[in-house]
Amino acid sequence: MSEPTTTPEVSPKPRPLRRRLLGLFLRFAAVYVGVIVVLLWFENAQLYHPVRDSQYWEPPPVDVKVEDVWLQDAAGTRLHGWWLPRPGSTTALLYCHGNAGNLSGRGNMAALLASSLDASVLLFDYPGYGKSDGQPSEAGCYAAGAAAYEWLTKTQQVPAENIILFGKSLGGGVAADLAVQRPHRALVLVKSFTSVPDMAQHVFWFLPARWLVSNRYENLQKIARCPRPIFIAHGDRDRTIPLSQGQRLFEAAPEPKKFLLLAGSDHNDGFPPQFFTELAKFLKETAPLPAATSATNP
């Protein structure tokens, strides 16, 4: 008897390499586009981190007088601030804080600035921060800064040439915007950035991020047009905003200017005594008060 014949098994024919590569490419492209969509959709959520007063609120510093201030921007948004008056001083510092928390976390820093510079200090919150109404946006932050400036010059009648514009991190964008539009004594930028597009590209290096973001805060362009003395400080261990961006701001700034390297300082670290000493010295040398309005302590 003859043995039954069997049909040999046929292995499935592998897909051509081109089709496999195309499939991989399409999957990668879908993920890539998805990341871009998420970046666009949640841009403001990544940039602004407001904390309401009901979530977290620190008491004001106990060793200085602190007054609650209510401001209103051009759109009618109600904004909250703290005013730390310095008896006998005709100088005021307008403090523009960073992108997270609220003004209550900056009370001790404001008190240090007031004592070291012999200046009254106005802290204010952006829309959606602390006790302020609204939602944060670039335009809203600019408007809040303008409202705070108007309160100093009109309500407190502080001479414009006596106002120090101080911006930390995101607040640097608000302070720089004021500096090219309003008269002031000096501009101080601490651990700030060249622009939001530059920061987006730094963080999302694998995307065309600089072309996707709508928030701008073009500090590098604005600082070149600042007509008054500029003091810039940046930490050499800043893991949030690269030191190189602070250095680029300094290079673009016109004279007189000073750059202070904060050795060993990360983005959220406190400031060493040298910072306050060097800032006071810079203001005295490059932006002295007019003789008629020099501060006198009682």
- Mean per-residue pLDDT for 254-271? 97
Q: What does the pLDDT read at residue 173?
A: 98
Q: What does the pLDDT read at residue 94?
A: 98
Q: What does the pLDDT read at residue 11?
A: 57
Q: What percent of the chain has pLDDT over 70?
A: 84
Q: What does the pLDDT read at residue 295?
A: 42
Q: What does the pLDDT read at residue 58?
A: 97
- Mean per-residue pLDDT for 87-101? 97
In whole angstroms, give the CA distance from residue 166 to residue 261.
17
pLDDT digits (tens, 9 = 90+) for 220-251: 999 999 999 999 999 999 999 999 999 999 99
Statement: residue 297 has pLDDT above 80: no
Residue 15 pLDDT grade (very low, low, confident, very high; cuts 50, 70, 90):
low
- Mean per-residue pLDDT for 49-64? 96
**Domain residue ranges of the chain, discontinuous segments joined by +:** 43-287
Q: What does the pLDDT read at residue 214?
A: 92
Residue 282, phi then psi, degrees to nearest 5 = -60, -45
- At the topology level of CATH, where does 43-287 sit? Rossmann fold (3.40.50)
pLDDT digits (tens, 9 = 90+) for 208-220: 888 889 999 999 9
* One-letter amino acid for residue 104 of the chain: S
- Mean per-residue pLDDT for 79-105? 97
Q: What does the pLDDT read at residue 206?
A: 80
- Mean per-residue pLDDT for 84-107? 97
pLDDT digits (tens, 9 = 90+) for 133-182: 999 999 999 999 999 999 999 999 999 999 999 999 999 999 999 999 99
Statement: residue 293 has pLDDT above 50: no
Statement: residue 52 has pLDDT above 60: yes
Q: What does the pLDDT read at residue 156?
A: 97
